[in-house]
Structure 1
Amino acid sequence: MTTRPLTVRDAERALVLYQHLVGDGPVASADAFARVVDHPGTSVIGAFADDSLVAMATLHVLPNMTQGGRPYALVENVVTHRNHRGTGQGRRVMQAVIDAAWDAECYKIMLLTGQTAEARGFYETLGFGAEEKWGMTIRRAPVRG
């Protein structure tokens, strides 16, 4: 069992795992994955069981002007392969994300999650809470071809 930042060589396995996150929704190409993992301050951290990518999350470390200039982190696209849910793989990848954010001297880590009790409970066991701030989003309608 290993946890490590993904590279462009992991694109095909990552694309399969993204499909577990979005279901029938669209997933971008391997070229788009390369742009993500090559973006400064961004990493996609994956958990492997044997040679299989079973969980991953994207970590963005962003520059900041408050908190003495310490950066903050944003976590997105957390997913565990459906055959590995409940086995601790999501916890392993999230702990690696948290460790990486603290190593980067981030003063906080933010994420949004679904409103199910199961999703919220998972993040609360890792130390996340919703008492301090509200998470809000606005979405743009999908572009039609």
Structure 2
Amino acid sequence: MADGIVRAAQLGDLQAVLELYRDLHPEDESFPPEPGLSALWARMLEQPGLRVFVLERGAALVASCTLVVVPNLTRGGRPYALVENVVTHREHRRRGLGSRVVRHALAEAWEAGCYKAMLLTGSRRPEVHRFYETCGFRAGDKTGFVARPGAAG
């Protein structure tokens, strides 16, 4: 397919996913060293409810996002979902590839019976917010809060 295929990430995708994550957070600390890095990736792929989706065009992975489906006792026992680490390779942006991978993740969440999906972004850029809105997210429904280690409580 000319626009690529969205699929679940596999063990052999680690290096390509790491390249995408360098685009996502170029200032981020380095990845854990081997063999821990490969073990972490394997644990992620085996984690029930956690799926990393990638969009593959030819031999390259050009977009990705992570979906976490969380079991829940409220809302009639329906789970909820978290979408994280949404990234499209800088050379492939503004082509609808990122929205395809996010929409795929949302379709998986709805298929799993989730009553909602949440996403946080640290970006203040209006075009990033519009991107998420075109994928189906709405700002203003809830208020997001983030705690980090060492923050006074």
TM-score, normalised via structure 1 length: 0.92
Pairing 1:96–2:99 present: no
Q: Which residue of 1 is the match for residue 16 of structure 2?
A: 13
The number of residue pairs the alignment matches comes to 141
1:62 aligns with one of 70, 90, 104? 70
Q: In percent, how many aligned pairs have the same letter?
A: 44
* 1:18-74 deviations in Å (ceiling 9; x for gaps): 111110312342322222111110000000111100000000000001110000000
- Partner Cα distance (1:89, 1:2) in 2: 10
TM alignment of 1:23-102, pairs within 5 A: 23-26=26-29, 27-28=31-32, 29-102=37-110
RMSD between aligned alpha carbons?
A: 1.2
- Partner Cα distance (2:41, 2:103) in 1: 22
Name segments (4+ residues, structure 1) moved above 2 Å: 26-31
- Partner Cα distance (1:18, 1:34) in 2: 17
Pairing 1:121–2:126 present: no
Unpaired segments of 5 or more residues in structure 2? none
Pairing 1:135–2:138 present: no
TM-score, normalised via structure 2 length: 0.87
Unpaired segments of 5 or more residues in structure 1? none
